[in-house]
A and B are shown apart, each in its own frame.
Chain A
Amino acid sequence: MNFMPNLLPAIYIAVLVILSGNVGAHEQKSSITVVLANKNSGLLEISHRFNIHDAEHALTQLFGGKTDIMNDPLTQTRFSDYIQGHFSLRISDKHPIALSYVGHEVDGKFFWVYQEAPLPPSTPQIQVFANALQSVWKRQTNLVNFEGLGSIQSLRFTLNTEWQTVHFNYP
């Protein structure tokens, strides 16, 4: 264990524990991201889906103060920014894929965040990093589905996961 407090990002340090022990009766502590290679639009379209409860409680833990994910635009923007800050794509470590923000919305019991990027020219692989909420809850699991580039492929991100690579087998 190499504990280096100065290098830990602020958010990681800000982990509180009030809810860390919750048994998730409804808090599923999992998210799903779909990365869709949309050849019609020429875009890599990213949709992140988080449970409302996870979102609101996580924000309270991360930032404190007033959080109202369903009705407060500021809370929604903060969470959206947070999710975008914890999701990255790249072709390689020297070739990041810049994701632009499209929007976010509350839909039923889910909070959605949308991003997009120009569809990279046929690449044999994309590397992914997705660690949203894992500094809040150890059990947080983020699932990323890649669609539109051959058969569906999934990556599962838990706390011990950093960059993962998905290789494409084009049809």
Chain B
Amino acid sequence: MRHTLVLLTLTLISSTIHAGAVNQSKGDFVDKFRQLEEILPTPNRYRSASGEPGRDYWQQQVDYKITAVLDETKRHLSASQEISYTNNSPETLKYLWLQLEQNRFKADSMAEMSGDFAGIGRRGPGTKSNNGDAPAGISFGELRRQQYYADNKPGYEISDVRDSNNKPLPHIVVGAQMRIDLPSSLKPGQTTSIKMDYQFNILEEDAVSARAGYEHFPDDEREGGNDIFLLAQWFPRVAAYSDYEAWHNKEFLGRGEFTLEFGDYDVSLTVPDDHIVSATGVLQNPKKVLSKQQRERLITAKDAERPIYIVTAEEALEKEKTASVNSQTWRFKAENVRDFAWSSSRKFMWDAKGYQQGGDDQPLVMAMSFFPKEGGDLWSKYSTESVIHTMEVYSRYSFDYPYPVAQSVNGPVGGMEYPMITFNGPRTTWHEDGSRTYTQAEKRFLIGVVIHEIGHIYFPMIVNSDERQWTWMDEGLNSFLDGVASREWDPMIPWGVEPRDVVDYMKSTVQVPIMTQSDSVLRLGPNAYTKPAVALNILREVIMGRELFDFAFKEYSQRWKYKRPTPSDFFRTMEEASGVDLDWFWHGWFYTTDHVDISIDKVSELRLDTKDPDIDFARQRKDEADKPSSLFVERNKAEGSVLWRDKNADVSDFYDQNDRFTVTNKERNEYQQMLADLELWERTALLRAVKEDKHYYVLEFSNLGGLVMPILLQLTYENGDVEERYIPAEIWRRAPHQVKKLIVTDTTLSSVTVDAGWETADVNVHNNHYPRKIIPSRINAYKSKKSTDKVRRDIMHDIKTELEEPKVKPKKK
């Protein structure tokens, strides 16, 4: 951080309360601009002070070779995998930790055992505690979940954990994690190989909320219906091992998501031979699993203007009617990905369109969507196009999309991201006449969610932040960028997060700082998505400007592409690349729960004392005349009382002709002498100021919310002109509670407004005006809008009303 000069300057003046080691123990001064070096980790050879990967940055490499068999009837997956683990760290490893997310759904998992009945935080169907007269209850959803667990055995069955020579390896399962002890220590630079077999019952996503699983469609024409399978967190995955946390062996509890190492995958998936499979990676055996016609359609799709069906609606519908007893194997390879997910169903339509991205990395990307008839027109029109739009926009702000495919799959998961593949939930609605429609809200949801999830392929699938530790690093950055992309799709679609959207949350008293571990956050939506997205919006539009922000953001993205950034790397890069000291911003927005509430308390007008008696005395005379006269005197006049001096006009003297503001040569001589005594530069400055006759105003502001921000001024003049002025946040540097600002104007000021455009998330606009304005409450505004909105009247109906005699109620005194 840029701290040397500032620190030297401020040490004598104050200290502050960021860290326990430094304590402002006198007065109420708070150094809002204290540098973050006490909070951020010390830069080192792995992570530099600039926010870049250090000269010795390293990360592990984990490659997988998996063969898996999907038993559709039993909804069961059995697989074998070989993991090749390369230790690029400078440490020697005696064991590996693996994440076993399927075990989170076992009855003895930490997540299940620590579940608070009717508590928050657990994903899935609801429960309800008893309170007062109301009985405790559980929803049908919770019942279904309980019954599902009673009837199905969730979790991994892992067997035959062995080394490359097929020698058994000692291992221990700890909840949703597993430690495998290596036969010999894995030294820096060495690679080891581990094999294992595993199987598990695929969860019913609708019953247990697992971010993956199967969805059953009982109404399909085939007897017994069909399923869509979404497979994620489906193999024992080696946990991340980093320079700053060593093993990331924090157990999956259901909310905090994932991070893994990059590696290459070679995955063979055996499924019923009428299924279509969508997966991370590139299909290696299209001739074996696709028809000639499908392969030709794929070729056509590369240059198509609109998505081309690889599997049409009719073909998918036909397949829904029966089920094959045979199976076939789809083989996918993926390079440099941090995870692998896939989906399989005979219900899938499949469309594709080539995105001619250009560039050297990946000139052509195949954008593809897989969806059942329940997705219908909504998906065929907008899914694949949304995928491409996302890449077009995100690449401008980060880097070219580096993978050969980008996919959107419809299934039981509302929205979830994996490398090259995303799961998205919006659907059409079936009607009794057999038609399917969708609402405008559902259309917006589809476009929005596809943009968001495809956006996640950039953050965090490529810029590999740890979702479980810092959810905001992917959700916040991605929500910011999906707002950019959505506004470019159609600004009428209000996806972008605006500062005004978050003010009620930010002023609430129940919240935690953004820098809170995911599983401990009280309200994840506003905390990890909305507030950080608003923060970045404000940085870009208000504080840094688009040019500086976009450059720094792109720099961050490119520095950490295929690497593992932490918050400090983001904070440091944004500063280092833009040249803007943002420590105050990171601290206020990310490390505290302060909010923005800047009040303009007072405006005072100053007038230059010209010293010229011919000017100053005349002004003083006018000021005196402008004062309201005495009520006593006015009432005397009204009563017709005649003054003594008027009744006796013959008695008068000099002072009846010359008031006390009369200028004499005595004052003029003194003025000239004063001018003569001034230094030349002083005289020049004074005479110029007198000539220009500017207006001087002192504006007084209070920081009521605690969060310092720039003061966006809108000055309205008496002549109707409006001027915008920007006071940087640094004005609060030495006076965090109240500040004054002198402004000089050409004409007379009539009013001042702070943040007229609602750009800073100021929670209280009532104190943003001087003089104060009467601002209607939201309800009053609604009422007045409604009363003037005559078009809401149902005139077609009302016009049929018969005239009636008024009913006269008998009245008596």
A21 to B208, CA, bound (A): 7
A114 to B130, CA, bound (A): 29
- Least CB distance from B782 to A in Å reads 6
CB pair A26–B449 under 8 Å, yes or no, is yes
CB pair A160–B119 under 8 Å, yes or no, is yes
A110 to B509, CA, bound (A): 22
A130 to B471, CA, bound (A): 27
CB pair B125–A138 under 8 Å, yes or no, is yes
Tell me which of B206, B213, B782 contacts A17 (CB under 8 A). Answer: B206
CB pair B507–A152 under 8 Å, yes or no, is yes
CB contacts (< 8 Å) of A134 on chain B: these are 126, 128
CB contacts (< 8 Å) of A165 on chain B: these are none
- Assuming A22-B413, A102-B782, is B504 touching A141 (CB within 8 A)? no
Q: Which of B491-506 contact A (CB under 8 A)?
A: 494-495, 501, 504-505
Binds B, one of A34-42, A84-92, A118-126: A34-42
CB pair B439–A21 under 8 Å, yes or no, is no
Return 9 A-B CB contacts under 8 Å, by A number.
A17-B125, A22-B425, A34-B778, A38-B779, A116-B779, A138-B126, A141-B522, A159-B120, A162-B134
Is the C-beta of A19 less than 8 angstroms from some C-beta in chain B?
Answer: yes
Q: How many A-B residue pairs have CB under 8 A?
A: 216
Binds A, one of B138-146, B645-653, B656-664: B138-146
Chain B residue nearest to A144 (CB atoms) is B508
CB contacts (< 8 Å) of A159 on chain B: these are 118-120, 126-129
CB pair B128–A12 under 8 Å, yes or no, is yes
Chain B residue nearest to A13 (CB atoms) is B140
- Assuming A21-B413, A21-B414, is B120 touching A139 (CB within 8 A)? yes
Q: Which of A16-35 contact B (CB under 8 A)?
A: 16-30, 32, 34
A66 to B449, CA, bound (A): 22
- Least CB distance from B89 to A in Å reads 32
Contact with A along B107-143 (1 / 0, CB 8 A): 0000000001111101111111111101111111100
CB pair B206–A30 under 8 Å, yes or no, is no
A112 to B782, CA, bound (A): 10
Contact with A along B758-800 (1 / 0, CB 8 A): 0000000000000000000111101100100000000000000
Tier of interface size on chain A: 35 or more
CB contacts (< 8 Å) of A36 on chain B: these are 777-779
Contact with B along A134-150 (1 / 0, CB 8 A): 11111101010100000
CB contacts (< 8 Å) of A53 on chain B: these are 441, 444-445
CB pair B440–A24 under 8 Å, yes or no, is no
CB pair B453–A25 under 8 Å, yes or no, is yes
CB contacts (< 8 Å) of B138 on chain A: these are 1, 3
- Assuming A158-B119, A160-B116, is B131 touching A28 (CB within 8 A)? no
Is the C-beta of B402 less than 8 angstroms from some C-beta in chain A?
Answer: no
CB pair A143–B504 under 8 Å, yes or no, is yes
Of the listed residues B118, B130, B135, B439, the one surrounded by the most CB atoms of chain A closer than 10 A to its CB is B439
Is the C-beta of B207 less than 8 angstroms from some C-beta in chain A?
Answer: yes
Is the C-beta of A155 less than 8 angstroms from some C-beta in chain B?
Answer: yes
CB pair A21–B445 under 8 Å, yes or no, is no
A21 to B119, CA, bound (A): 16
Q: Is the interface of B mostly helix, strand, loop or mixed?
A: mixed
- Least CB distance from B500 to A in Å reads 10
- Assuming A4-B137, A159-B119, is B415 touching A41 (CB within 8 A)? no
CB contacts (< 8 Å) of A128 on chain B: these are none
CB pair A21–B412 under 8 Å, yes or no, is yes
Tell me which of A2, A47, A136, A143 contacts B130 (CB under 8 A). Answer: A2
CB pair B522–A28 under 8 Å, yes or no, is no
CB contacts (< 8 Å) of B141 on chain A: these are 15-17, 20, 138
CB pair B135–A4 under 8 Å, yes or no, is yes
CB pair A70–B441 under 8 Å, yes or no, is yes
Q: Is the interface of A mostly helix, strand, loop or mixed?
A: loop
A112 to B777, CA, bound (A): 14
- Assuming A38-B777, A56-B442, is B132 touching A163 (CB within 8 A)? yes
Chain B residue nearest to A55 (CB atoms) is B441
A134 to B128, CA, bound (A): 9
CB contacts (< 8 Å) of B416 on chain A: these are 23, 25
CB pair B135–A7 under 8 Å, yes or no, is yes
Is the C-beta of B211 less than 8 angstroms from some C-beta in chain A?
Answer: yes
Is the C-beta of B525 less than 8 angstroms from some C-beta in chain A?
Answer: yes
CB contacts (< 8 Å) of B190 on chain A: these are none
Tell me which of B131, B209, B429 contacts A20 (CB under 8 A). Answer: B209
B side interface size, CB within 8 A: 74
CB pair B525–A24 under 8 Å, yes or no, is yes
Is the C-beta of B725 less than 8 angstroms from some C-beta in chain A?
Answer: no
Tell me which of A28, A32, A139 contacts B529 (CB under 8 A). Answer: A28
Is the C-beta of B526 less than 8 angstroms from some C-beta in chain A?
Answer: yes
CB contacts (< 8 Å) of A22 on chain B: these are 413-415, 425
- Least CB distance from A153 to B in Å reads 6
CB pair A108–B494 under 8 Å, yes or no, is yes
CB contacts (< 8 Å) of B136 on chain A: these are 1-3
A61 to B523, CA, bound (A): 23
Chain A residue nearest to B529 (CB atoms) is A28
CB contacts (< 8 Å) of B442 on chain A: these are 56
CB contacts (< 8 Å) of A155 on chain B: these are 510
A23 to B702, CA, bound (A): 41
Other A-B pairs beyond A12-B128, A21-B208, 6, CB < 8 Å: A17-B125, A70-B439, A71-B440, A102-B779, A159-B118, A159-B120
- Assuming A22-B425, A26-B415, A34-B504, is B495 touching A109 (CB within 8 A)? yes
Is the C-beta of B530 less than 8 angstroms from some C-beta in chain A?
Answer: yes
Is the C-beta of B205 less than 8 angstroms from some C-beta in chain A?
Answer: yes
Is the C-beta of B448 less than 8 angstroms from some C-beta in chain A?
Answer: yes
A71 to B444, CA, bound (A): 13
- Assuming A3-B137, A47-B779, A135-B126, is B412 touching A56 (CB within 8 A)? no
Q: Which of B160-216 contact A (CB under 8 A)?
A: 205-211, 213
Is the C-beta of B452 less than 8 angstroms from some C-beta in chain A?
Answer: yes
CB contacts (< 8 Å) of B209 on chain A: these are 20-21
Is the C-beta of A78 less than 8 angstroms from some C-beta in chain B?
Answer: no
CB contacts (< 8 Å) of A16 on chain B: these are 140-141
CB contacts (< 8 Å) of A138 on chain B: these are 122-127, 141
CB pair B126–A66 under 8 Å, yes or no, is no
CB pair A145–B445 under 8 Å, yes or no, is no
- Least CB distance from A67 to B in Å reads 7
10 tightest Cβ-Cβ pairs between the two chains A and B = A22-B414, A25-B415, A21-B209, A162-B131, A28-B525, A154-B508, A138-B126, A160-B118, A108-B494, A68-B439
CB contacts (< 8 Å) of B128 on chain A: these are 12, 134-135, 159-160
Chain A residue nearest to B120 (CB atoms) is A158
CB pair A152–B508 under 8 Å, yes or no, is yes
CB pair A30–B523 under 8 Å, yes or no, is yes
Q: Which of B297-342 contact A (CB under 8 A)?
A: none
Chain B residue nearest to A151 (CB atoms) is B509
